[in-house]
Structure 1
Amino acid sequence: MNRILVDLPEEQLHELTALVEAEQRPRAAIIRDAIEAYIASHKRVLGADVFGLWKHKKADGLEYQEELRSEW
């Protein structure tokens, strides 16, 4: 496991301290959980932003592809 140095505003440090006391868990464990949750919420499934891309298009996707390739 690696160590990092993080600067926190005073207010966040107080909130973190309150969580540590309330949950009776180490500060590092709470920070690791928070980072894990942040990463999980920001992961994008590869290709997820392209599904349904053509649903409002009136052109047929295959015809469009063939037209583009005909230019080669």
Structure 2
Amino acid sequence: MGRIFVNLPDTQIEALAAIAEAEHRSRAAVVRDAIKRYISQRKLALGPDVFGLWKDKKIDGLAYQKKRRSEW
């Protein structure tokens, strides 16, 4: 596990400490969960992973593309 150092305003540190105390968890655990959720939300905002999406299709991707573009 790596380690990073982050400067936070005192108000955020106090809020983080209050959350950690209320949940009987360490501040580090609360921060890890927050970052995990943030990354998960960003991945959703960027769209799903589409690599290999067509691997089970029985149609040629280029032929499909040409057909769709011909409709324009």
Question: TM class by shorter-chain length?
Answer: 0.5 to 0.7
Match of 1:38 in 2: 38
Deviations 1:9-50 (A, max 9, x none): 111101001001100101111000000000000002246xxx
TM-score relative to the length of structure 2: 0.64
- Give the whole-Å Cα distance in 2 for the aligned partners of 1:4 and 1:35: 12
Give the RMSD, CA atoms, in angstroms: 2.0
Q: Pick one of 61, 67, 70 that aligns with 1:63.
A: 70
Identity among equivalent positions (%) equals 43
For these two proteins, the number of residue pairs brought into alignment is: 53
Match of 2:53 in 1: none
**Runs of 4+ more than 6 Å apart:** none
Q: Which runs of 5+ in 1 are unaligned?
A: 48-59, 66-72
Greater relative CO, 1 or 2 (CA 8 Å, sep 6+): 2
TM-score relative to the length of structure 1: 0.64
Q: Which has the larger radius of gyration?
A: 1
Q: Which runs of 5+ in 2 are unaligned?
A: 51-66
